[in-house]
Structure 1
């Protein structure tokens, strides 16, 4: 499978809305779980995989109908973008969690790392194989980044957080190699936490990312964002990234940024002139479906800073917390806008 040859290809960040018959969306909306949230699933365990498969096909077909060029499996089988992979690793204890209190005073249960982290089995391999069987389009799969996972766990074994992040990176790399063999055209690491702790990130995040992507030959992406729009209101989002230019030194071919909702000053992209940019052009905090003309304006703005051959178009973040009709409408507006701008630039 090859990537699309036309300029301004469209993709998604990763997740797509899970249907109400599959998950308790009210429960889902209250948090982004770090441990497991098995009670979120509405379908009994013995039928869950079949139900998730059916919902995954729906997500893939929606992306295809909307005109998306590089599709994912919608992350339908995940309770959050990170917990399914992290809690499947040996020595990551999610059954007896620790509590981490945020600066804002929120308490979150997180897994404890109680020994040497090892990937004892593939975690997302079946997901990738299923996606590959069910679409003729280019296929992307996402993994939680090693720095982010190290920040979402309590370290009770490794000498410091850097050693913990490098252990996670080794596990991610083993998984990524299997996903590439299974037909992934693009592999993306989600690393939103580099923004939460930029001082620590400057010390070893790029080193961990590079270890995680070692030996991967398909295009690779690192995704950054300011948090799900449903969880982090736009009014509290910063105007810029505290950790971005540093990713110029990463081995990732693309950097994915949230730009539409925070109205990011795209001048920051000059520091990433050696990368392709996956640009967020859909504001997921706005319940209205943007017109294709509004989205085209955001694409044109991106083209002032990034050449068309280096620009990939996407929503700001994952879409799992949105109503499905809204998510579909926004994706279609983005695909239509991309077609419009392609004609303009010839």
Structure 2
């Protein structure tokens, strides 16, 4: 049986229901430490509520016609803190405050000991997803480089050594996620473009360590940030992208619909498959299938159909649910249009 061309997928997150999270609090930023007050459901019933929300996300992705789905990350306060704060060596109770190059202050965990994974973090999430869909299923993990950029290091004093330990923890989790039924493993590494000089020194090394020995397709996702958080014009090019051709990941996921990057950069990533962002999450309206098809055709000028996976630019966490579903339906329908042209 031949593999479907132009398989559609999602980057990871889907909107959490308003009965599950405080959306006003969610919109204030992307938490690095735990944000327990985000949840509207009390602790004794929280897991049940998250499970119910996950079923809603799964069914929406199935109804929309997406080929490779996720659990929508319903159990996560952010894409990274769910896993990053569950590791040994991280002090989340007495966090530090760091200031970025734009003068913005962020509360982050402190690294006070050796980073180690001492228990499964997302394995039950993957088991639940696998038990509730017959679709191909992907699960995401924060990448080791990005996690190393989101903490205050008081132990290693060596960013590369710290990130290598993050990579080992990610790798242990990823192997267990495959055993739990994951068809695809994705690393989210948006901070590669925030600190390209440091990324140049060791990012490929730590990504390869995180993906070492994983027997299913692997993806590295990078973007310019959530449209709801990063307002205004986004860059039109990545400061760290061709280097990812040296990773062992089979797929690279990039944002292109909103920032309108020059797709000529895709030539630098041969022979990788590309998860190409063709859904603009800054647009409050759902694209038409014809607009999505047009964006896919633009990608096909540089990629063969078997190497392009149409996707949203980034996670859909911050969108209204009706908007997110409309965009996913347009994604599936737009891919079907182009698939029909290739037949």
TM-score class normalised by the smaller sequence = over 0.9
1:226-237 matches, within 5 Å, as 226-235=224-233, 237=234
Structure 1 position 238, deviation (Å): 0.7
1:171-210 matches, within 5 Å, as 171-210=169-208
- Partners of 1:189 and 1:21 in 2: how far apart? 29
Q: Which runs of 4+ in 1 moved over 2 A?
A: none
What's 2:42 paired with? 44
1:94-173 matches, within 5 Å, as 94-173=92-171
- Partners of 2:115 and 2:100 in 1: how far apart? 25
Structure 1 position 345, deviation (Å): 1.1
What SS is found at the alignment partner of 1:196?
A: coil
Q: Which ranges in structure 2 are unaligned for 5 or more consecutive residues?
A: none
- Partners of 1:252 and 1:324 in 2: how far apart? 31
1:286 corresponds, among 283, 296, 300, to: 283
1:81 corresponds, among 62, 76, 79, to: 79
What's 2:221 paired with? 223
Q: TM-score, normalised by structure 2?
A: 0.99
What SS is found at the alignment partner of 1:280?
A: strand
Structure 1 position 104, deviation (Å): 1.7
What's 1:300 paired with? 297
1:244 corresponds to 2:235: no
1:256 corresponds to 2:253: yes
1:318 corresponds to 2:319: no
- Partners of 1:25 and 1:204 in 2: how far apart? 37
Structure 1 position 89, deviation (Å): 0.3
Conservation of the 8 A alpha-carbon contact between 1:234 and 1:262 = no
Q: Deviations over 1:148-199 (max 9, x none)?
A: 0000001111131001110100000000000011110000000000000000
More deviation, 96-105/27-36: 96-105
1:266 corresponds to 2:263: yes
- Partners of 1:193 and 1:151 in 2: how far apart? 7
Conservation of the 8 A alpha-carbon contact between 1:72 and 1:139 = yes
1:342 corresponds to 2:327: no
- Partners of 2:185 and 2:77 in 1: how far apart? 20
Q: How many equivalent pairs are there?
A: 343
What SS is found at the alignment partner of 1:302?
A: helix
Q: TM-score, normalised by structure 1?
A: 0.98
Structure 1 position 234, deviation (Å): 4.1
Conservation of the 8 A alpha-carbon contact between 1:18 and 1:76 = yes
Structure 1 position 274, deviation (Å): 1.4
Conservation of the 8 A alpha-carbon contact between 1:234 and 1:285 = no
Q: Which ranges in structure 1 are unaligned for 5 or more consecutive residues?
A: none
